Structure 1
């Protein structure tokens, strides 16, 4: 455009995207190769916070068993053990999740599934750079 070219009143921009459900909410997914800023997954952050809080409560001696703590929190012990397992994640993975740098495939449902105990294997499992 040159200075003599008039500026149009409207401009149409087409951006290919699709809407996907993630963690019970809808999210816009851009095509591969498109740059976009990461957003922190609040559900994932909440699960991490709960895990470390519960771990601290267990280590302090406030509760003797997971069953006792689960009863106090009003949740199933099996769910609590799955969430507590998040405290075994590599610190760099936890930091990536808190910063929103995890991939779109890393959801609460995914991290509550069994994952490798070795930190290096966790990076591979969650497709994160070590």
Structure 2
């Protein structure tokens, strides 16, 4: 068997009936599925004759997974909000201290920290994938306006 076939498990649908002590019957059904190895992730592929509701659920899961991909912008947004929380709690007094502790250049750390000032609707659009044209470079390289409506206008996310 070639290497590309490893990791696949296939089987026919089989129903087992097990008698219970009280006189009933317990039924167990083995459904066919294929486990596909894609890098470090595993993905279940439903059979071709699966019921429509399973296919709809799998499609929704696939869309949600594609939208929730970890991008450099999402990592930077998370880091910016984490740093803001550290400063709000009083663990650090400034971005300079955070940059030294995290091993970042001060300029890069300050660009990332400015992302905590983005409007919640912009952050949500980035998280759901609705802001396709917004990248880390397009947001962090320019000055971010304080007003949220100006931010949405500048990023063309009306």
What is the TM-score of this pair, normalised by structure 2?
0.54
Q: Which has the higher contact order (CA 8 A, sep 6+)?
A: 1
Aligned mate of 1:109, from 137, 143, 146: 137
Partners in 1 of 2:103 and 2:82 — Cα distance? Answer: 15
Q: RMSD value over aligned CA atoms? A: 1.6
1:91 paired with 2:120, answer yes
1:52 paired with 2:81, answer yes
Over 3 Å counting, the alpha-carbon distance change for 1:41 and 1:101 in structure 2 is: farther
Q: Deviations over 1:43-72 (max 9, x none)?
A: 111010000001111111111222111111
Matches for 1:1-130 after TM superposition, within 5 Å: 39=67, 40=69, 42-104=71-133, 106-113=134-141, 114-129=143-158
Number of aligned residues: 92
Quote the offset at 1:41 in angstroms. Answer: 5.7
Partners in 2 of 1:92 and 1:53 — Cα distance? Answer: 18
Larger CA Rg, structure 1 vs 2: 2
Q: Which has the higher helix share?
A: 2
Unmatched runs of 5 consecutive residues or more in structure 1: 1-36
Question: What SS does the corresponding residue of 1:64 show, helix, strand or coil?
Answer: coil
Question: What SS does the corresponding residue of 1:102 show, helix, strand or coil?
Answer: coil
Residues 48 and 87 in structure 1, CA contact (< 8 A), matched pair in contact too: yes
